[in-house]
Amino acid sequence: MSERTMELSGSEVEGLLRALVAVPSVNPRDGAGPGEAAVAGVVRDWLAARGVAVELHEALPGRPNVVATVPGRSPDALLLESHLDTVEVDGMSVDPYAGEVRDGRLYGRGACDAKGSLAAFMLAAAELAAGPPPPCTVLLAAVVDEEHRYRGVLALLNALAGTRIAGAVVGEPTGLVPATAHKGVLRYTVRTLGRAGHTSRPADAVNAISLMARVLAHLDATAPGVPDHPLLGPATRCVTRIGGGTGPNIVPGSCEVDIDRRTLPGEDPYAVWLADREELAAVLPGRVELDAPFTVDHALDTPAGSAVVRALRAALAARDRDSTVRGMPFCTDASKIARAGVPSVVFGPGSIVDAHSADESVALADVRLAADVVADLARRMDVA
């Protein structure tokens, strides 16, 4: 393994991350909006200027993934994947695109989730391209649509079909610890069926909101009946939206809520939905219905002995950083990559507490350290 280390200046890290944050890339969520194309161009041009082979692959109309390649001694690949899109900027207390730096932290939408990770991966790729070939080929992918329907990573996996990928690092804010597990999510709508009537004669009607109160009480009192995961803790179930009623003088005939159910490794989301449907229907027989899930994402559980996890932990330990594998409560593209047969670990600068927040930010020193660790990981990657 080469002992070469990165010598990044603070201005280089700051300049790259500010350039990424300065370009709006709010996920349009299938509506109107510029999407990620402009920031994809920034990523492509920055990498190409540093001698990294890079292409744009259209994942959705007008919304390209960026795929860059650093050839290695082996054609087997290490995939570095993060996303281009951000959530909305409404309600932010800082300028979402200024990239203001205060006390060593850069502020703006996407600084933490996940342009900080993307910047670290880009810096690492440029460093690897400038030095001796790493043991394996390094693929850097910056994808669209992670914040909505994760079609970017699915398009990436289709594009890479046939490529031998030994492992993947997915860039998300983990506080610079290796996350080998994360929860999945299942979201669905529950509806109570009453009978509408005039509010002057409520006894002649069946109030669907009152029925829903019984369903909510059951949900509050009943946890999902699965054992805790050693890295993730319990499965959870949370009500996120409620709606019902059509007028101030009408007893509501229907009421609905959305449920966010966080699943654990080993749980099949559709089996969970079927079990929840049976459970909630039993609370009020004939008065409850569940719509099919509108969001389904699987959990992640990568063995700690996987080559990519071992290499990441060794790179962290070499810098006296905590290399203990952890679990994360949020979902990432890693679960899709893992389901395609690629051992995957989540890693990046920043905290999930800062992601999507009104004053989103990331420490520039952590971005620089993440770049150093990822470059070292690539040099340590065992593809034998």
Q: What pLDDT is stored for residue 8 in this prediction?
A: 63
Cα–Cα distance between 136 and 78 in angstroms, integer?
7
Selection from 230, 235, 254, 251 nearest residue 243 by Cα: 254
pLDDT tens per residue, range 61-78: 999 999 999 999 999 999
Among the ranges given (6-20, 185-199, 208-222, 258-272), the one the predictor scored with the smallest mean pLDDT: 6-20
Q: What average pLDDT does this structure show over 368-383?
A: 95
3-state secondary structure of 180: strand
Confidence of residue 222 (pLDDT cuts 50, 70, 90): very high
Written as six digits, the tokens of 203 are: 């006894």
Q: What average pLDDT does this structure show over 281-301?
A: 97
Confidence of residue 4 (pLDDT cuts 50, 70, 90): very low
Selection from 159, 146, 189, 155 nearest residue 69 by Cα: 159
Distance, CA of 343 to chain centre: 16
DSSP 8-state assignment for residue 289: E
Contacts of 192 (CB under 8 A, 6+ apart): 208, 209, 211, 212, 215, 244, 254, 255, 256, 284, 287, 288
Written as six digits, the tokens of 310 are: 């071992």
Q: What pLDDT is stored for residue 267 in this prediction?
A: 98
Q: What pLDDT is stored for residue 32 in this prediction?
A: 80
Contact 326, 380 (CB under 8 A): no
Note the residue count of the chain.
384
Cα angle 343, 347, 352 (rounded to 5 degrees) comes to: 130
pLDDT tens per residue, range 111-151: 999 999 999 999 999 999 999 999 999 999 999 999 999 99
Confidence of residue 9 (pLDDT cuts 50, 70, 90): low
Confidence of residue 248 (pLDDT cuts 50, 70, 90): very high
Confidence of residue 382 (pLDDT cuts 50, 70, 90): confident
Percent of the chain with pLDDT over 70: 97
Q: Name all domains of the chain by residue range, CATH numbers in brackets.
A: 10-182+300-380 (3.40.630.10), 184-297 (3.30.70.360)
Selection from 47, 120, 18 nearest residue 370 by Cα: 120
pLDDT at 34 over 70: yes
pLDDT at 229 over 90: yes
Taking the model in full, what pTM does it have?
Answer: 0.94
Q: What pLDDT is stored for residue 7 in this prediction?
A: 56
Contact 379, 137 (CB under 8 A): no
pLDDT at 219 over 80: yes
Cα–Cα distance between 122 and 52 in angstroms, integer?
10
Written as six digits, the tokens of 262 are: 């966080």
Percent of the chain with pLDDT over 90: 95
Q: What pLDDT is stored for residue 1 in this prediction?
A: 36
On the 0-12 / 13-18 / 19+ scale of CB atoms within 10 A, 193 is: middle
DSSP E strands in the chain: the ranges are 53-60, 63-70, 74-83, 101-102, 105-107, 136-143, 165-171, 179-182, 184-193, 197-198, 236-244, 250-251, 254-263, 288-290, 295-297, 300-301, 326-328, 344-347, 361-363
Selection from 70, 71, 82 nearest residue 20 by Cα: 82
Torsion sign across C-alpha atoms 347, 350, 356, 361 = negative
Q: What average pLDDT does this structure show over 314-319?
A: 98
pLDDT tens per residue, range 157-198: 999 999 999 999 999 999 999 999 999 999 999 999 999 999
Contact 281, 188 (CB under 8 A): no
pLDDT at 2 over 60: no
Phi-psi region of 290 (alpha: psi -120 to 50; beta: other; left: phi over 0): beta
Cα distances (Å, whole numbers) of residue 374 to 149, 192, 221, 254, 270: 27, 50, 44, 53, 36
